Amino acid sequence: MVRYGKLPWVWVSILVIMIDQYTKYLTVKYLPFQQLVDVIPGYFGWLHTYNYGAAWSFLADHSGWQKWLFAGIAFIVSIVLVVWLTRLKGTKVTWLAIGLALILGGALGNLYDRVVLGYVVDFICAHWQTNYYFPSFNLADSAISVGAAMLIIDMLFFAKKREKSD
């Protein structure tokens, strides 16, 4: 018998990838490169940038080997997440399954950019007045962050309850 676990939640991953890639397409097509377009002046805007490294441009200034390192990590993490989803069972793991699916979609959205383009397209810029700019990010990064937060919340509040009821 084939066991799928919570693999059907991969539709969330597919939705994340589609929306992420579409917003990156719009960014490249319509936003001027490296020019802030204020949406909420002093707090939030669009900033079309390319990230050759990982989070906050970590290792971006290296010769290009980091592209394959981060692509490999994303690929391995994606396989682990798919296996994890297939092994989930029961009705009380929906929160966890959605968190894993968000991380998977974000990882694959950025993996596509990294492998096909050689960099990740970022465009969301949070800033406070003009003194501090949070590094630009994209919807895949947001999905990864929300999914990771969901995993942490699951570990802190739901995992022990599930173990007791099983």
Cβ neighbours of residue 133 closer than 8 Å, sequence gap 6 or more: 125, 126, 127
Cβ(5)–Cβ(85) below 8 Å:
yes
- The stretches of 31-153 forming alpha helices (DSSP H) are 65-87, 94-112, 139-153
DSSP state of 9: G
Name residue, tokens 């942490």. Answer: 152
Catalytically annotated residues: 122, 141
